[in-house]
Structure 1
């Protein structure tokens, strides 16, 4: 069993909760905890995601068909502690911004298929 250093009671309590909760059901929360994302970093991320989702909805209404630039923007705005693809799949599984995350996953899958053909 992996030795865990617990510095304070909050860390200890979170560690205990992670043992009784199926963290696979909450992959985004798991990423936040595993990567030591602070409350400020979390708020910044969620604010940026809300703005990005608004842009996505506006562009969709205007008839834009390719959202690759939004995916690139997402990857660029993401905290360096988080990996873009893993974060997208985690957000989708927890139900955050479903239309935007589905669109990002479609782009990722399309690009992966394109590179496999080469």
Structure 2
């Protein structure tokens, strides 16, 4: 009979394998697993992105040409377990808020 510790080790091994598989196609999901974010923490990242995407759209319509405060807000409000540049790239690569993530990437490269 397998002990709980053996089951846990086996599940951790399976998780490593799955991370390797999803890392290329779903980089943001891979970050979630690697950094052990809870469902609530992931929802907070999505809410942050939705809020910033709304602000970006609104500011574009109002004729803004500088969007650096959006990056500052993203970095300041992002979960401490996540690195901002890596997260932006993962979100962009997974096609989550791609226009916003492209903008944030552009701002990073300009600075």
In structure 2, the residue matched to 1:116 is none
- Count of aligned pairs: 106
Q: Supply the RMSD in Å over aligned alpha carbons.
A: 2.1
In structure 2, the residue matched to 1:94 is 94
Residue ranges of structure 1 left out of the alignment (5+ in a row): 112-118
Residue 30 of structure 1: how far off its partner (Å): 1.1
- Report the CA distance shift for 1:80/1:69 in structure 2 as closer, same or farther (over 3 A): same
Tell whether 2:49 aligns with 1:49. Answer: yes
Residue ranges of structure 2 left out of the alignment (5+ in a row): 1-5
Are 1:6 and 1:12, in contact at CA under 8 Å, matched by a contact in 2? Answer: no
Residue 50 of structure 1: how far off its partner (Å): 0.6
- Report the CA distance shift for 1:48/1:9 in structure 2 as closer, same or farther (over 3 A): farther
Residue 15 of structure 1: how far off its partner (Å): 3.6
Residue 18 of structure 1: how far off its partner (Å): 3.0
Are 2:88 and 2:105, in contact at CA under 8 Å, matched by a contact in 1? Answer: yes
In structure 2, the residue matched to 1:61 is 61
Residue 17 of structure 1: how far off its partner (Å): 2.7
User: SS of the counterpart of 2:8?
Assistant: coil
Question: Structure 2 length normalisation: TM-score?
Answer: 0.84
Residue 60 of structure 1: how far off its partner (Å): 0.7
Residue 13 of structure 1: how far off its partner (Å): 4.6
User: SS of the counterpart of 1:86?
Assistant: helix
Tell whether 2:75 aligns with 1:75. Answer: yes
Residue 42 of structure 1: how far off its partner (Å): 0.5
